Copies of this chain bind each other. A is one copy, B any other.
Amino acid sequence: MEKITVSLGERSYPITIAAGLFKDPASFWPLKAGDNTMLVTNQTLEPLYLDALSARLTAAGVKVDQVILPDGEQYKTLAVMDEVFTALLQKPHGRDTTLIALGGGVIGDLTGFAAASYQRGVRFIQVPTTLLSQVDSSVGGKTAVNHPLGKNMIGAFYQPASVVIDTDCLRTLPPRELASGLAEVIKYGIILDGDFFCWLEQNLDALLALDEQAIAWCIRRCCELKAEVVAADEHEHGQRALLNLGHTFGHAIEAHMGYGNWLHGEAVAAGMVMAARTAQRLGQFSEADTQRIIALLQRAGLPVYGPQSMQAEDYLPHMLRDKKVLAGELRLVLPLALGRSEVRSGVAHDMVLAAINDCQKP
């Protein structure tokens, strides 16, 4: 079992990573007998996990209510979040309840924001079931829902009480979702840890084959890197923005194509190549390193070109709604080397458009 702590003073919390965690109710710390919970999950995960998990928690003396949401990024909305509030109020659940987010990034982000907002804040536990949410969205307290005009535009910084990662969940994950998670994994290598990037080049096949040791170590390393960044900059005043490599471009793809058509990791993968191309045009990144990124993404089954139906000009309006924009000016995360990156303002829009065009499928 791997265990990490996200250090945020009195709001610190543990991340527990292992195969088979769901079989032991003690994994769900800090829940204890007598606690009230509302388990939020989606229609895809319900038949896979809900009854068994609910029965084990109930046997441990925890009261479990549940709300089942439709599955997909297009349901990460205020209106769907309202269904969680309705379920909570119908019982009714008080301020002493605990929300359990059983699912991927959509369930985790939406449930986290619901926990932040219900009665102005109740406890919640992240139980991420996709690789993407295990290595990224479940850790660090960014919660949100989407708006038709921008992804994750409505939300809160709100930390969970714990994160419970059962790596067995990855065995039921569709291959496209696994690849989407690998995009965020590769991101950590590019922005923060060149050795980890090399390790990924050597171990990608083991990860794709869900080798238990490789997967557990990989998730642990990503969570460690993220925990360090979050502990240093919880509210993204500085370094935390690095975690958004590829996301400004990627969010534009997701918004333009309609949420759910391009998976988040797929859009980020293409976006990371666009960021690398921008960095190349600025003379701060090499063609050889861009090719290493492209090769690794392709081995993981991820796109390295933007959508064919999207022109370079289509990106900018979405990119200018990015949360990193300050005083109307775009700020981009750009690689400096494999393992090192920066947040950069003032890149000419022409150069950004040219870099996007570099990533049009020939």
Contact = CB atoms under 8 A, between A and B. Distances in A.
Contact of A86 (B89, B116, B147): B147
Nearest to A147: B85
A117 B323 contact: no
A326 B121 contact: no
A118 B153 contact: yes
Count this chain's copies in the assembly. 2
A242 B152 CA distance: 36
A120 B321 contact: no
Interface stretch (A91-99, A204-212, A287-295): A91-99
A254 to B, nearest CB: 15
A325 B156 contact: no
Interface string A71-114: 00000001101100110011010111000000000000000010
Interface string A161-187: 000000000000000000000000000
Interface string A117-145: 11111000000000000000000001010
Given A120-B155, A154-B117, A154-B118, A94 B327 contact: yes
Nearest to A329: B94
Contacts of A119: 153, 323
A25 interface: no
A143 B193 CA distance: 41
A154 B83 CA distance: 12
Given A78-B78, A120-B155, A142-B120, A96 B326 contact: yes
6 contacts: A78-B81, A85-B154, A92-B320, A117-B156, A120-B156, A120-B235
Question: What are the 7 tightest A-B residue pairs by CB atom distance, in nearest-first order?
Answer: A89-B149, A92-B321, A94-B325, A119-B323, A117-B154, A120-B155, A78-B78
